[in-house]
Structure 1
Amino acid sequence: MSERDERAIEPVEWAMLVDPAWRPSPKEPEAPIDKIMGVWPIDAHGVRQRFRPNPAYLPFDPEGVLDPVDGVLRLLAEGKEVAEYLPEVLADVLLDIAVDGEGTAVVVPAPDGVPSVVVATAPGHRLRVDVPGWKSVSTVELAEALPERGVDVLLNPGSATSMRVDSDVIRRSASSRR
């Protein structure tokens, strides 16, 4: 199934990722929309599609995790041995690339000076970046757009766990989703 086909499929079910601090109560037995981190649409064949972050999500903790990639980045920042999961998690989400006024990807030096495409893993991360616009892409589309050498990906600039990811990790992630 192509990237475009996946986006066009009308889901019949949703698997939701709810803020871990939210608890049902008699007054609020179902998670309100602003406490749903995002969803994985499930098509009529039972196939789970890529995670889609909820633009209305407001974590209980203002410094809380905003999406699965953000969760892995935070674990890495804490020194946890989870680097092997990053390509898999990246393959399972839709990303937002920062674009200029003409729709061209914004490339900036990462904190270590390496030129990098600016990418947000959830709408909440876009708020920290002043750019004219954003384009939603899959990891496959991002990998295809990256030059063969010289440009990496800067995930969630401005966040406490912003990270430069080598373009080869993006390509490896994309190849697992083809």
Structure 2
Amino acid sequence: MSEFRPVDSPDAKEVPAMSEDQWVLLVDPAWHPASTTDGAEVPSPPPQAVVGGWLAREDGSVSRFEPNPSYEPAAEDSPTDPLDAVLRLTARGEADFDQLATVFRESAFAVAVDTDESPLVAPSPDNIPCLLVTTAPAHRRRVRAAGWRPAAPVDLLRLLNDYDGVDLLLNPGSPGCLRLLADSVREIGG
């Protein structure tokens, strides 16, 4: 195994510039490729094992994480995206608000809507009215909704300003389900 050397190290190798946009994929940690004894190329993960990814652009910019709608978690404890992972850590007391806020700002969401395309408001497990929000398509099957509206953090902030007295219920029914107070979303800044 080679030793890690920071990029600014004198003997670090030059990283070639990208000639085109490329996806950086996050694969379910429970997926393992079939091993080959004859040196054959290891197969790529099947689509349902790819959690999602980030588009790394030729200019060096990186997109928000895009969850894979075909992803099927290999186990109940497999996170569906980076924010779901942080929500689970938060629920166990292993992540703090600053960590949650950092990942929240870079996440993509979907808001449950009714047949009129209005956001659904339902009680949280502690009986507080909440907008139902998911961080990945895998969480949607636990919510009875007519549809889903994509949303960025700033969109969630606008919705909370339109719906007085509600919080966000992130990933309802999941191991990382979390009620995020409207004031906390405002503090994060959407």
The letter for the 2-side match of 1:45 is: D
Counterpart CA distance in 2 for 1:169 and 1:37 is: 27
How far 1:51 moved relative to its partner? 0.6
Of 146, 152, 164, 2:167 maps to 152
Structure 2: segments with no counterpart, 5+ residues: 1-19
Question: Does 1:173 find its partner at 2:188?
Answer: yes
Counterpart CA distance in 1 for 2:188 and 2:29 is: 26
Of 164, 168, 177, 1:162 maps to 177
How many pairs are equivalent? 165
Structure 1: segments with no counterpart, 5+ residues: 1-10
Q: State TM-score, norm by structure 2.
A: 0.79
Counterpart CA distance in 1 for 2:26 and 2:187 is: 25
Counterpart CA distance in 1 for 2:188 and 2:24 is: 22
Give me the CA root mean square deviation. Answer: 1.9
Show CA shifts across 1:28-72 (max 9, x none): 432221111011112332111111110111222144211111111
SS at structure 1 position matched to 2:71: coil
How far 1:169 moved relative to its partner? 2.4
Match of 2:49 in 1: 35
1:95-174 correspondence to structure 2 within 5 Å: 95-147=109-161, 149-174=164-189
Question: Does 1:16 find its partner at 2:25?
Answer: yes
SS at structure 2 position matched to 1:104: coil
1:11-90 correspondence to structure 2 within 5 Å: 12-24=21-33, 25-26=35-36, 28-90=42-104
The percentage of aligned residue pairs carrying the same residue is: 39
The letter for the 1-side match of 2:108 is: L
